[in-house]
Amino acid sequence: MDLVPALEEPLNQPLKSVLGPATAKVMAEHLGLHTVGDLLHHYPRRYEERGQLTHLADLPMDEHVTVVAQVADARLHTFASSRAPRGKGQRLEVTITDGSGRLQLVFFGNGVHKPHKELLPGTRAMFAGKVSVFNRRLQLAHPAYELLRGDSEETVETWAGALIPIYPATAKLESWKIGKAVQTVLPTAQQAVDPLPDSLRAGRGLVSLPEALLKIHRPHTKADIADARARLKWDEAFVLQVALARRRYADAQLPAIPRTPGPDGLLAAFDDRLPFTLTEGQQKVSKEIFDDLATDHPMHRLLQGEVGSGKTMVALRAMLAVVDAGGQAAMLAPTEVLAQQHHRSVTEMMGDLAQGGMLGGAEHATKVVLLTGSMGTAARRQALLDLATGEAGIVIGTHALIEDKVQFHDLGLVVVDEQHRFGVEQRDALRGKGKQPPHLLVMTATPIPRTVAMTVFGDLETSVLDQLPAGRSPIASHVVPAADKPHFLARAWERVREEVAKGHQAYVVCPRIGDEEEDPKKAGKKKAPEDEAEKRPPLAVLDVAEHLRGGPLKGLGVEVLHGRMQPDDKDAVMRRFAAGDTDVLVATTVIEVGVNVPNATVMVIMDADRFGVSQLHQLRGRVGRGSAPGLCLLVSEMPEASAARQRLNAVASTLDGFELSRIDLEQRREGDVLGQAQSGARSSLRVLAVIEDEEIIAEARQEAMALVESDPELTGLPGLRTALDALLDEEREQYLEKG
């Protein structure tokens, strides 16, 4: 669950015994808080100062917010409606202000009476609700509120201190109710057992855990908050790094078969035929991998690099080295399209070296087989036989590789492509097919900032490819503002025609397929007027393809590709496109990774604002793969000043994936990144920000490695062991063990 230190009694008490069943139920269902310790680690998101008002001008749309403001005026209107036909409907409109902006609150029906009496001009209160837009103005409909009278005993007590903590809340439980619940359990913070070793805490001048919990929930000054956060960040960073360091330590104790390629075997034969020289980066990373493969404990390496930096070539050479040494290698791809693509490119790169046991096969050849869920029975049976006998040295497949029926003769290396698409259980099942633990190479095509790699993949050694191979062309990227400047979009289609006229090809990417049925549950709901106006559905492949065939790209060969097509159809479309028989491919993000058509020079991404930064970078990497320069056009209807447009401008302005992944991380919440990588488990990070706290993470990692090296069982640190147990609840325990 969370980094809850030492859940001894009383921190381990269930919340329902302290707060009552109703509140405890809401906390469990909506906030994932079950024990007193969980609640103590539900930290305030920010703090309001009593003398200062919130900036209403900066309210985010569609989020639950808590604001402190003053009532400027309140008006009761009557109106006729279907429910109150005689003009008896009542609506209370209250305007609140904080000096920087104004916000309208609206209450309807019977809900108007209490606020009408209480929210008089001049009254100060905390208001909580979801920000929406009505008639182009921000409003909160039916907000919950708490008056700040400042005179009655209870209010003074509840909001004691100059700083009011604002908690991450939900519609079912406002911030101040969470605050009151925290006050109830706060005395138990004194019994929290500290996970940090005393020497570390003293050496870094950190406050004790009970003091940190007290200061984060009831600070008297901003210095209190800073002390508490500095301490709690260390807890999160250190406990996570100890978990990862222990895993690395345990892995290093496992036996593995060293795999060293022969001087004149398959790898040497392959290298001799390469029509180009490897980049310095590829040579350096290959050496790191070969050194790992030669040791007698399993390699655990993350290979990350720029889109198009030649990761597949590095992985293939590692697989050939293992086959040379008598083992087998398996490559796990996230989709059938990608598995087929990898299989095709590997067999093409290897030529007759991939025809082991066949007529015309080279002297050192091996067999390269494909295994996917949609293969015919006969082909499947043959592939399984080749793996079991060892006839096939290399297998490329989807999660079909993991099924019980699949047996290997001697599995020596597992290569996982696009890490975040795979559950840990799947990687584990494949690793379990070796007689001894096989070596593991994880490739990720989305460059990850160093800190994220240390936090998420701290148990893997990291190799980085940041050089593009020779002959790769630069990609120019531009934002096309379709709403402000429709003629820009017309010009984009002209550019596609120009490229096709030169003998090249184009991709058009859309966020949706277009044959989805309306969800009956959603269809039945009445939408509020502000929702209606909010957003049209994202553009769809089938609609856009039809529009292009009949309009801007009339006369060109336009085909579609999306995830719901039959595997054979998908493969046929890809083959026609790769062969140059199709001019324009209109597709969803199925083309995001690994698809390699050097003749495709232009990509138009429709509704580009609906994609994430790293996804756009990934998609863009599909063009400019040959000698002709690439062009990527990001089409968006979002207004100039919106955050979405700024994101697109960032993508257009740099081809550096590491830089973009930082921007992406700063804009999204950490939990997305960690959640994705940690098998969907909730992010354990509350106060640690992966990008900002780079130094803390690096230092915590050093401390953790030194500690685990000297005392792998953590015998002298019961508090740390309890914190680890809390971090590694069952789901995570398995996750970290399986790696």
Mean pLDDT calculated for residue range 276-302: 92
Most confident of 368-372, 421-425, 462-466: 368-372
- Of 219-223, 426-430, 636-640, 670-674, least confident by mean pLDDT is 670-674
Amino acid occupying residue 177: K
Q: What is the DSSP letter of 195?
A: -
| 362, 389 contact by CB (below 8 A) | no
Max CA distance (Å), the chain:
94
Q: Which residues contact 45 (CB under 8 A, 6 or more apart)?
A: 166, 167, 168
Q: What is the DSSP letter of 194?
A: P
Secondary structure class of 546 (helix, strand, coil): helix
What is residue 228's predicted lDDT score, i.e. its pLDDT? 95
How many CA within 13 A on the CB side of residue 517? Answer: 3
- Of 255-269, 472-486, 717-731, least confident by mean pLDDT is 717-731
More confident residue, 431 or 569: 569
Tokens of 634: 């990001």
Q: Rounded to an integer, what distance in angstroms lies between the CA atom of residue 201 and that of residue 706?
A: 15
How many CA within 13 A on the CB side of residue 603? Answer: 32
Mean pLDDT calculated for residue range 625-633: 88
More confident residue, 732 or 342: 342
More confident residue, 87 or 109: 109
The pLDDT tens digits for 378-405 are 999 999 999 999 999 999 998 888 787 8
Q: Is the pLDDT of residue 674 over 50?
A: no
More confident residue, 349 or 80: 349
What is residue 480's predicted lDDT score, i.e. its pLDDT? 94
- The number of residues making up the chain comes to 739
Tokens of 188: 């138990």
Amino acid occupying residue 391: E
The pLDDT tens digits for 676-704 are 444 333 456 777 777 778 888 889 999 99
- Of 59-73, 311-325, 626-640, 712-726, least confident by mean pLDDT is 59-73
The pLDDT tens digits for 460-519 are 788 888 777 676 777 899 999 988 888 999 999 999 999 999 999 999 999 888 866 544
Q: What percent of the chain has pLDDT over 90?
A: 32
What is residue 605's predicted lDDT score, i.e. its pLDDT? 95
Most confident of 2-11, 149-158, 665-674: 665-674
The pLDDT tens digits for 215-249 are 999 998 889 999 999 999 999 899 988 988 888 88
- 400 phi, psi to nearest 5 deg: -60, -25
The pLDDT tens digits for 145-195 are 888 776 544 453 444 345 788 888 777 888 888 988 999 999 998 988 889
Does the CA dihedral 579-584-585-589 come out positive or negative?
positive
Q: What percent of the chain has pLDDT over 70?
A: 83
Reported as a pLDDT band with limits 50, 70 and 90, residue 667 is low
Q: Is the pLDDT of residue 69 over 80?
A: yes
What is residue 392's predicted lDDT score, i.e. its pLDDT? 92
Q: Say how far residue 159 (Cα) sits from the centre of its chain.
A: 37
- Tell me how crowded residue 693 is: count the other CB atoms within 10 A of its CB: 22
Q: Is the pLDDT of residue 525 over 80?
A: no
CA–CA distances in Å: residue 381 to residues 109, 356, 398: 69, 18, 16
Q: What is the DSSP letter of 59?
A: P
Among candidate residues 320, 526, 329, 313, the one with its CA nearest the CA of residue 410: 329
What is residue 398's predicted lDDT score, i.e. its pLDDT? 86
Element (H, E) at 602: strand 600-605
What is residue 535's predicted lDDT score, i.e. its pLDDT? 60
More confident residue, 351 or 362: 351
pTM of the model: 0.69
Most confident of 526-540, 558-572, 675-689: 558-572
| Mean pLDDT of the chain, nearest integer | 82
Reported as a pLDDT band with limits 50, 70 and 90, residue 358 is low
Full DSSP string of 487-511: HHHHHHHHHHHHHHHTT-EEEEE-S
